[in-house]
Amino acid sequence: MPWKHFKLRSFIRLAALFLILPAASQAQLVREDGSAPQQLAGSSKTVSTATTAAPAGKLRLSQDFALSGDSHWTDTGLDVHAGERILISASGALKYADARAENGPQGLPRSYRDLLRILPNNESGRGALLGRIGDADTAQSFLIGAKRDLVAPADGRLSFGINQPENDSADGVFSVHVEIYSPDSTASAKPREIARQVSSIKGFNNTLFEKIPRRVSDKDGNAGDMVNFLILGSEDAMQQVFTTAGWVKVDPDVKDTLLHGILGSLSKEAYLTMPMSQLYLFGRPQDYGWAHAEPISVVTSRNHLRVWKAPFTVDGQTLWVGAATHDIGLERDQRNNGITHKIDPDIDLERNYVEKTLCGTGLVAEVSHFLPPNPLKEAKTATGGSFHSNGEVLILKLVNPAKDSSGQ
């Protein structure tokens, strides 16, 4: 297609995008009168669905906290366990110097004027009360607002935060009350799935690893990233665990990415969907690309991975084969003297990052590590960068993989 025609079509599409924003972005916005849902419709990033019945378990503890408007994240000192019921209520008000009015724990409605502000939780309003269970580097934040009733998806430390950038603050205080109840132990209660560490998982053995290449390659066959994790579960379950953990599906079409790139300030996700180069395994490009990063540093730093659906099953279930690396900067591509992303040479750190983020969702049933024969411990990527590993491959078995409907 001639470049001038491409530019014309690009301009038309961009104009249309500005006039009719994508559904995902519209769900984030509110009208100037403040009317809007509290969070993205259909969002899978909350830690649980709200419950309305009275807690069936025993009250384990009850505690009160005060969060000032100049705070960001506060460690409550409370460790919660998978399956525990957590009831949180909050009151009080904050006042930002540039805001017209005070806001309660629900935060200020996000309007079109507020799109460029990057918040810890872009799906919630500025100044909203947030929660987090687990490590600061891997756990996903969720909206508490004035009230939240949730079930802990995994073990972890409970923290509260104000939805504001590090350089932002407000006058005022939120008063927060927390009650934690033990898991429902009645006969009718469904057992809570957690990421159990096991020594082995059925079907994962040396014979299986003979069918899985140790490394992916570029289109010319140059060996690249190491295969360092496997996921057992249906396609729907695989997508759900990544999206719940805050990973964003990467746009595989470079042209489409450029066309909507100007809208990148609308959401955290748009920053992450920078094009990911195609690498090959089982004779074809990746089926999915996922990224996880803070939006400001995404150009030079992001956690990213690729997954391929294996051409065979394990114990009758779909197997996803993945390669994960951490971009930490830029370097020269030794194939063509261009510029490419530089990865952290200690790729085991990224494998561990994948494990922590996915296991924190409550959607992983079992976790294991396998050391194949003649493990890969040191090599170079297709672009010339070096990496090292202990050679172990992470294996994650998702919750209820027996419901796999892939047809294989």
What's the pLDDT band for 201 if we cut at 50, 70, 90?
Answer: very high
Mean pLDDT of the residues in the chain: 79
Pairwise CA distance, residues 219 & 215, whole Å: 13
Neighbours of 219 (CB within 10 A): 11
- The angle formed by the CA atoms of residues 111, 117 and 123, to the nearest 5 degrees, is 65
Q: Which pLDDT score is estimated for 387?
A: 85
- Both tokens of residue 158? 């409970």
Query: In terms of Cα–Cα distance, which of 368, 359, 353 is closest to 399?
Result: 359
b/e burial code for range 312-334 (CB count within 10 A of at least 16 → b): eebeebbbbbbbbbbbeeeeebe
Residues in the chain: 408
CA within 13 Å, CB half, 42? 6
Pairwise CA distance, residues 293 & 204, whole Å: 31
Burial class (CB in 10 A: 0-12, 13-18, 19+), 277: middle
Q: Which pLDDT score is estimated for 134?
A: 93
Q: Which pLDDT score is estimated for 253?
A: 54
- Both tokens of residue 307? 């997954």
Residue 399, pLDDT > 80, answer yes
pTM over 0.85: no
User: pLDDT tens across 94-125, in order?
Assistant: 999 999 999 999 999 987 777 777 788 888 99
- Both tokens of residue 207? 């014979």
b/e burial code for range 189-216 (CB count within 10 A of at least 16 → b): eeebbbbeeeeebebbeeebbeebbbbb
What's the pLDDT band for 150 if we cut at 50, 70, 90?
Answer: very high
Pairwise CA distance, residues 295 & 271, whole Å: 5
User: pLDDT tens across 6-52, in order?
Assistant: 344 443 343 333 333 333 333 333 333 333 333 322 233 444 445 56
Q: Which pLDDT score is estimated for 376?
A: 87
Instruction: Note whether 353 and 374 are within 8 A (CB).
Output: no
Q: Which pLDDT score is estimated for 13?
A: 40
Share of the chain above pLDDT 70, in %: 70
User: pLDDT tens across 220-232, in order?
Assistant: 898 889 999 999 9
Share of the chain above pLDDT 90, in %: 53
Residue 263, pLDDT > 60, answer no
Pairwise CA distance, residues 393 & 200, whole Å: 12
Mean pLDDT of 377-389: 79
Per-residue 3-state assignment (H helix, E strand, C coil) for the chain:
CCHHHHHHHHHHHHHHHHHCCCHHHHHHCCCCCCCCCCCCCCCCCCCCCCCCCCCCCCEEEEEEEEEECCCCEEEEEEEECCCCEEEEEEEEEEECCCCCCCECCCCECCCHHHCCCCCCCCCCCECCEEEEECCCCCCCCEECCCEEEEECCCCEEEEEEECCCCCCCCEEEEEEEEEEECCCCCCCCCCCCCCEECCCCCCCCHHHHCCCCCEEECCCCCEEEECCEEEECCHHHHHHHHHHCCCEECCCCHHHHHHHHHHHHHCHHHHHCCCCCCCEECCEECCEEEEECCHHHCCCCEEEEEEEEEEEEECCEEEEEEEEEEEEEEEEECCCCEEEEEECCECHHHHHHHHHHHHCCCCEEEEEEECCCCCCCEEECCCCCEEECCCCEEEEEECCHHHCCCCC
CA distances from 142 to 70, 85, 124, 217, 390 (A): 19, 15, 9, 38, 35
Q: Which pLDDT score is estimated for 308?
A: 98
Q: Where is pLDDT greater, at 311 or 45?
A: 311
Q: Which pLDDT score is estimated for 233?
A: 97
- Say which range, 46-60, 246-260, 360-374, 385-399, has the weakest mean pLDDT: 246-260
Pairwise CA distance, residues 202 & 144, whole Å: 40
Residue 359, pLDDT > 90, answer yes
Q: Which pLDDT score is estimated for 31?
A: 33
Mean pLDDT of 228-247: 95
Mean pLDDT of 313-334: 82
Q: Which pLDDT score is estimated for 396?
A: 98
Residue 309, pLDDT > 50, answer yes
Structural domains for the chain: 47-181 (2.60.120.430), 196-403 (no CATH)
Q: Which pLDDT score is estimated for 340?
A: 57
Q: Which pLDDT score is estimated for 117?
A: 79
Mean pLDDT of 367-376: 94
Residue 158, pLDDT > 60, answer yes
Q: Where is pLDDT greater, at 190 or 302?
A: 302
Mean pLDDT of 215-222: 90
Q: Which residues contact 149 (CB under 8 A, 6 or more apart)?
A: 50, 51, 52, 85, 86, 87, 88
The amino acid occupying position 132 is R
Residue 329, pLDDT > 80, answer no
Q: Where is pLDDT greater, at 196 or 402?
A: 196
